[in-house]
Amino acid sequence: MQQDKELYRTFSRRAAILLGTQAVLFGALGARMYYLQVVEGDRYSLLAEENRINLRLLPPPRGRILDRFGVPLATNDQNYRVVVVAEQTDDVAQTLAALGRLVPLDPEERQRILKEVGKKRAFVPITVKENLDWPVVASIEVNTPDLPGLSIESERSRNYPFGGLAAHVLGYVGSVAEADLTGDPLLELPGFRIGKSGAEKQYDLALRGSAGNSQVEVNAVGRVIRELARVEGQPGADLYVSLDMALQNFVQQRLAAQLSGSAVLLDVMTGEILAMASTPTFDPSVFDRGLTSAEWQGLVGDKLKPLSNKALIGQYAPGSTFKMMVALAGLEAGIGAEHSVYCPGVMALGNARFHCWKKGGHGTLDMIGGLRHSCDVYFYDLARRVGIDAIAAMSRRFGFGSPLGIDMPGERGGVIPDRAWKQATLGDIWHPGETLVAGIGQGFIQTTPLQLAVMTARIANGGYGVIPHIRRDGEFRASRIVGRDGGGAGSVTVPPYPSLGIAPEHLGVVIEGMNQVSNNPRGTAYRVRIDTPGFELAGKTGTAQVRRITMSERATGVRKNEDLPWEQRDHALFVGFAPVHAPRYAVSVVIEHGGGGSAVAGPIARDVLLEAQLRDPVRRRPDATLAHRDVG
């Protein structure tokens, strides 16, 4: 009996322990279930919902680019592509073979498609061919029953209606590279394009817009079941640029006969770029569809550099177009316009001889005569008297030696040397002969065509520091200062930019010199004058050597440009403004290895200035048919 009681007590204790343990376990389980279902219920519900519902970004339409009159320069066209879904066909290779009878597919493309099919889920569409035109799309749609797994999708592609006419200004769009990633989820979308150069790059964020989104229900393996909600994105903003496409077309066509060159036309009061052309050019549309390796190598390997905006990044010795800077430095230093120099055709400095372009010399000239005849000896003398530091200081006031700040990427600043620059850059002192060479725009001096146009504009507008820009908006307007008479004859129009502090009488000397270059029968550019009354131009020729002429060659006769290899010929330059008595337009033209400035660059500049005046929006409307014309 006693033993039975002991067994019963033992059993009871064990049962109690077991029941207690079970109670603890069930309590813990209940607490955990409470925690998961009540405390953390919302969180796990959200996770489950996120597994069921995907939020997908929708790329917004890219903003258009239009010229100053609203002519579209960059638009978005419908782009059709054919895709294949592997699960919808028994044999992808056979389907591709059938498609090949309608659309050419090379072996590499077929291999790429089959490789992607092997990597991705069977329900994921694989792009077969892009940029299909409508007849091809129609033929595929008609033959759909014989092309299982294939379907047509549409998207937007960037189109440039005028091809290469403004390619260097507009730039182009291309695929997002790893270096372009900034954390913006838009950049990670397949096929998304961003601006890579020109205005497309400068204003990419505004043109890009903001993404929309689509909520889609998916199953466990990621297949889309249905779309639950859709919010369209904010399209990119339209960008109005200052270009006049009719003028841009004219300038580009005038340059087309040259192997390599550039031209800039701008409004001297506002700084708006009306035309900026570079030759050779390229078609920016090919970058949107994607270049082949051969196409890319052809562009980057071309010695004429078709991808380079030479107006913005080309750096050249300005030659005689720089003489206005030397003249202004001399005038500011107290050397009057009446200062005369006798030119026998050469100037000696120690043992060195510095030659004038005219072998027999020009005789005695004052400053205006020196500009009219572009006498090298006159400006050797003036530069020697003024010194390189004063010339450099004046040049920088007119925009040389550093970027001007145009709203385009990649601008170069050129080089304006002085004593400090040479010591810091080359570790050497400045030599007197280098001042003489700088006096005619040679030596270390490097300028861009844009800087030459801005220099000309700042001379023409009365000495105001106009800044060039490509965006068209209301911020850059010429201001009218009303004279004491309340208007009329006492009114003058001035740019909304600070004065450079140049004495008006000094500018008057230089402007008269440029006027005589073009309109005096003895001027170096008289043959490229505008003889229409009221449209006359004032200009300056320039010829920049790219090779050294030896004493032996001078003794036997300097070889003509046409007898030299193209790479050794002089650069041809011309700058000018018009009309002379009420300046509004400034132009610079640089033709690489073109020879003489008056013979090659001058006629182009003259035609551009005349065309600009004939198309002046104050008097005439732009050519309304341009937007519909095939201009290549």
Give catalytic residue positions. Answer: 320
- 599-603's contacts with Cβ under 8 Å and 24+ in sequence apart are 599/572, 600/258, 600/572, 601/261, 601/541, 601/542, 601/572, 601/573, 601/574, 602/525, 602/527, 602/528, 602/539, 602/541, 602/574, 603/528
Structure tokens belonging to residue 444: 């270390």
Q: Which of these, 530, 520, 601, 528, lies nearest to 321 by C-alpha position?
A: 601
Structure tokens belonging to residue 489: 């004859």
3-state DSSP helix/strand/coil % of the chain, to nearest 5: 40, 20, 40
Burial bucket for residue 51 (CB in 10 Å: 0-12, 13-18, 19+):
exposed
The residues facing 53 across adjacent strands are 217
Structure tokens belonging to residue 370: 């020196």
Structure tokens belonging to residue 567: 């790479």
414's CB contacts (< 8 A; 6+ apart) are: 315, 400, 401, 402, 445, 446, 447, 448, 451
For 507, 529, 574, the CA distances from 537, given in Å and listed in that order, are 16, 7, 12
3-state secondary structure 582-604: CCCEEEEEEECCCCCHHHHHHHH
* Cα 314-65-611 angle, rounded to 5 deg: 60
Spatial distance between the Cα atoms of 182 and 179, rounded to a whole number of angstroms: 8
State which H helix or E strand residue 16 sits in.
helix 2-34
Residue that the structure tokens 């009878």 belong to: 101
Q: Where are the alpha helices (DSSP H) in 283-332?
A: 285-289, 293-300, 310-313, 323-332
Spatial contact of 315 and 412, defined as CB atoms under 8 Å apart: yes
End-to-end CA distance of the chain: 118
Spatial distance between the Cα atoms of 320 and 318, rounded to a whole number of angstroms: 6
Spatial distance between the Cα atoms of 590 and 79, rounded to a whole number of angstroms: 39
Structure tokens belonging to residue 271: 């700084």
**DSSP secondary structure code for residue 342 in this structure:** E
One-letter amino acid identity for 484? R
In the three-class reduction of DSSP (H, G, I as helix; E, B as strand; rest coil), residue 207 is classed as: helix
Q: Which of these, 162, 304, 158, lies nearest to 243 by C-alpha position?
A: 162
The residues facing 150 across adjacent strands are 84
One-letter amino acid identity for 583? P
Structure tokens belonging to residue 171: 């730039």
